[in-house]
């Protein structure tokens, strides 16, 4: 059996550690900046875990789904 479909739809993920983010100036962002609902950026392994699951036999009953990997 061959399964095909959209594997993932990730949000921003942190692929490399951020040492010091650029300063945020209030004049550049007139509205409040809200972070991801999970309270952190996801790691690159998190979307990969979904792909591994979808390619496994454990996902044999998954069909026609759209998976968001976005932390909420």
At 48, give phi and psi (nearest 5°): -65, -35
In 3D space, the residue among 3, 7, 4 whose CA is nearest the CA of residue 48 turns out to be 7
Q: Per the confidence metrics, is the pTM higher than 0.85?
A: no
pLDDT digits (tens, 9 = 90+) for 2-31: 455 555 555 666 666 655 566 666 666 666
Q: Is residue 56 part of a domain?
A: yes
Give the separation between CA 46 and CA 54, rounded to whole angstroms.
13
As for how many domains the chain has, the answer is 1
Residue 58 domain flag = yes
Tell whether 1 is covered by a domain.
yes
**Full residue range of the structural domain in which residue 67 is found:** 1-11+41-72
36 vs 11 pLDDT, higher one: 36
Helix (H, G, I), strand (E, B), or coil: what is residue 55? helix
In-domain check, residue 62: yes
């Amino acid at each position: 059996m061959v399964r095909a479909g959209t594997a993932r739809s990730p949000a921003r993920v942190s692929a490399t550690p951020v040492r010091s983010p650029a300063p945020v100036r209030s004049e550049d962002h007139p509205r409040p900046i809200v972070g991801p609902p999970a309270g952190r950026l996801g790691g690159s392994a998190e979307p990969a875990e979904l792909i591994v699951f979808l390619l496994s036999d454990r996902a044999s009953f998954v069909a026609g789904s759209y998976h968001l990997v976005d932390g909420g």
